Amino acid sequence: MNDMMPATVVCGPDGREVPGDAAVTAAATIPTPQHAVGTRIDIVSDAICPWCYVGKRNLEGALAALAAEGLHFSVHWNPFQLNPDMPKEGVERAAYRAAKFGSAERAREIDARVGGAAEAAGLAFRQDLMLRTPNTIDAHRLIWFAGRQDRADLQDAAMETVFRAYFIEGKDIGDIAVLADCAASAGLDRATVTSFLAGDVAAPEMRAADQAAREAGVNGVPSFFLDGYSLFSGAMPAAQMADAFRRGRQVLEQRVG
């Protein structure tokens, strides 16, 4: 169904920018539970992907527009690691990005471009506060944990607080104490989350889900799926997102009609 995708930009597997319309294959699918046809949105993302945060903000605008038409969707966040070999403790961000992109100047240019896109989406990124590039397994475990709670909005709220902690507050989201703060801000019990994160529960599942996404054709994030079918990738504007979801839903309803 990705014939409807306009060109966008995503974070590639190593954190480099790649064209979004090439990030997901037309036949790619991910497994999803039972739900009403054309209503489940799955987002494959990483907590340190700036385009994922921009995409989240644009998605909120798209969903608000669709809700005004009487079209409602559920949103589910799925893990992807841009840096799967990142040490548990993370690394110093400036040196790491200078090595990755060839120079500190090039890294600053990329930060400036991303910061401009974030500003256009209403986000004030503070790359000057971001001192470390973290391992994101524990952040993904937190998002997974939030998604298993009774309140349907907790996972999205947790994703928001993790993004905010990293991109706006410049905190190390590889730190369990920081993630516990994020959890509490999202409405989760801090002590319960701290205990959960202190262990290794769901870490293998996060790595397996990351691998499943890659096998489904995802090689850049954010990537968006509707009822398990790849729809588009990248932080496209809200109006284009809304159109893609609207048209995708129509296609799926016709298939079962």
Tell me, letter by letter, the H, E, C secondary structure of the chain.
Answer: CHHHCCCCEEECCCCCEEEHHHCCCCCCECCCCCCCCCCEEEEEECCCCHHHHHHHHHHHHHHHHHHHCCCCCEEEEEECCCCCCCCCCCEEHHHHHHHHHCCHHHHHHHHHHHHHHHHHCCCCCCHHHCCEECCCHHHHHHHHHHHCCCCCCHHHHHHHHHHHHHHCCCCCCCCHHHHHHHHHHHCCCHHHHHHHHHCCCCHHHHHHHHHHHHHCCCCCECEEEECCEEEEECCCCHHHHHHHHHHHHHHHHHHHC
Give me the pLDDT at residue 108, please: 95
Give me the pLDDT at residue 199, please: 97
Give me the pLDDT at residue 22, please: 37
In a domain? residue 67 = yes
CATH code for the domain in which residue 39 is found: 3.40.30.10
In a domain? residue 82 = yes
Q: For residue 214, which amino acid is it?
A: R
pLDDT tens string 181-224 = 999 999 999 999 999 999 999 999 999 999 999 998 998 999 99
Give me the pLDDT at residue 10, please: 81
Give me the pLDDT at residue 13, please: 66
In a domain? residue 99 = no
User: Is the entire prediction scored with pTM above 0.85?
Assistant: yes
In a domain? residue 22 = yes
In a domain? residue 1 = no
For the chain, the farthest-separated pair of C-alpha atoms sits apart, in whole angstroms, at 55
For the chain, the domain total comes to 1
In a domain? residue 176 = yes
What is the rounded distance in angstroms from the CA atom of residue 14 to the CA atom of residue 30? 22
Give me the pLDDT at residue 25, please: 37
Give me the pLDDT at residue 14, please: 62
In a domain? residue 127 = no
Task: Show the domain range for 175.
Answer: 11-89+135-256
Give me the pLDDT at residue 46, please: 98
In a domain? residue 166 = yes
Give me the pLDDT at residue 12, please: 76
Low-confidence ranges of the chain (pLDDT < 70): 1-7, 13-16, 21-34
